[in-house]
Amino acid sequence: MKSPTHCADTGSDYDVLQWDTREDCEVRQILDRIADKWSLLVIALLDRGSLRFTELRREIDGVSQRMLTVTLRQLERDGLVERTVHAVVPPRVDYALTPLGRTLHETVRSLVAWTESHQREIAAARATYDARTG
Amino acid sequence: MKSPTHCADTGSDYDVLQWDTREDCEVRQILDRIADKWSLLVIALLDRGSLRFTELRREIDGVSQRMLTVTLRQLERDGLVERTVHAVVPPRVDYALTPLGRTLHETVRSLVAWTESHQREIAAARATYDARTG
DNA sequence: CGGTATCCGTTCTGATACTG
DNA sequence: CAGTATCAGAACGGATACCG
C-alpha cells in the first residue's frame, strides 16, 4: 500500500501527538500547497470578497500571469476557491473562497498576523546572526 | 527607498486591513520562510523538546541532510531555533525552539490541524475536479 | 556525529507571444 | 479580459564525496 494516507499508524512515538512527517502522507502534500507563497496571499485577499483575475494580479505585487493562473487552478482543484465565468464580452471571471476555503482563512490570517507582529524580532535576529557569522 | 519594510503605507484599500502583498515587503519574505515545506515540520517537531540533528532527520521522512542543514540554519538565523553544540566526541548538537519560535508553534499547529481535519474534503474536491476536467 | 563542498538533474518561474 | 503555449534561466533539491 503506497497511496498517500494520513498515516497515523507508523508506530512512532510522535504519531501519537498527531504529527505526521512521512513523505507519502497526504497531509504533508496538502500542507505544501496551502503554505505556498502565492496561495497564502490569494486566500488572504479573497476572504474580503470575490475578485476578478486582473484585480488579484494587481493586488499581488510580483505575481506573473502564469503563476497566478497556476495557483488559482490548484486552489480550485482543492475546493478552496470557486471560479465563476460570466458569459459576457469582454470576459469576466470571478474568484471567491468556497465555504471550505473560508474555514481556512482564520488560520492563514493568524499566520500572517504572527509574522506582522514579530517581524522586528526576526529582523533583529537576522542582523545578529549575520554580524556574528560575518 | 527600496529596502524591505512592512509597507503598510501604500495607499491601497487593502493595506487598511493590514494585508500586504508587495514583493519587497519583509512580511512576505518571512512568510515564505516559515511556510516552507521543511520549516513547518521542524518547528512542529521541536515544540516537544530539543532534538539532535540525526533525530530530526530520522523523524522527517524524505529530508536530505543538505536540506535539513539549510532549513535549520535559516531558522537559526531568524531566531526561531537555537543550536547548541556540545564539545564531546562524537559531536552532539541539539536543536530547540527559542521563546520566539515557541510563540509561532500554536499557529503552525493550527495550520496542520486544519489540514488534518479537512483532508477528506480536499481529496474529494480533487477527485471531482479531476473527473470533470478529464 | 554532524556537518561542508560539489555536481547535476528537475522543477519553478518569468518573459514573451498568441487567442477566444 | 482572461487566459494558453512555449521557452530559457534561475532556484531547488538530492546524491555523492569528504572532513573535524
Residues B86-111, mean pLDDT to the nearest whole number: 94
From edge to edge, which strands make up the β-sheet containing A51-52?
Answer: A51-52, A92-97, A81-86
Give percent above pLDDT 90 in chain B: 62
Cell digits for B122? Answer: 480536499
Q: Reduce the DSSP state of residue A5 to 3 states and report it.
A: strand
- Whether the Cβ atoms of residue A71 and residue A41 lie closer than 8 Å to each other: no
Residues B10-37, mean pLDDT to the nearest whole number: 72
Lowest mean pLDDT among A66-75, A82-91, B16-25: B16-25
Is residue A14 scored above 90 in pLDDT? no
- Please tell me the distance from the alpha carbon of residue B125 to that of residue A67, in angstroms, as a whole number: 21
**Is residue B82 less than 8 Å (CB to CB) from chain A?**
no
Sign of CA dihedral B100, B101, B103, B108: positive
Q: In whole angstroms, how large is the CA radius of gyration of chain A?
A: 19
For the ranges A106-120, B62-76, B102-116, the one whose mean pLDDT is highest: B62-76
Is residue B9 scored above 60 in pLDDT? no
Instruction: Identify which of B40, B60, B79 has the shortest CB distance to residue A121.
Output: B79
Instruction: Point out the residue nearest to D14 (C-alpha to C1').
Output: B64
Q: Is the pTM of this model over 0.85?
A: yes
Contact assignment for B32 to A34 by CB distance below 8 Å:
no
**pLDDT score recorded for residue B10:** 44
Confidence of residue B66 (pLDDT cuts 50, 70, 90): very high
- Closest-CA distance, B88 to chain A, in angstroms, reads 23
Cis? peptide before B91, omega within 30° of 0: no
Q: Which helix (H) or strand (E) holds A31?
A: helix A26-34
Residues A51-73, mean pLDDT to the nearest whole number: 94
- Please tell me the distance from the alpha carbon of residue B16 to that of residue B19, in angstroms, as a whole number: 8
User: Has domain B17-133 been given CATH number 1.10.10.10?
Assistant: yes
Each domain of chain B, given as residue ranges in start order, spans 17-133
- Please tell me the distance from the alpha carbon of residue A33 to that of residue A76, in angstroms, as a whole number: 12
Burial of B5 (0-12, 13-18, 19+ CB in 10 A): middle
**Is residue A121 less than 8 Å (CB to CB) from chain B?**
yes
Confidence of residue B11 (pLDDT cuts 50, 70, 90): very low
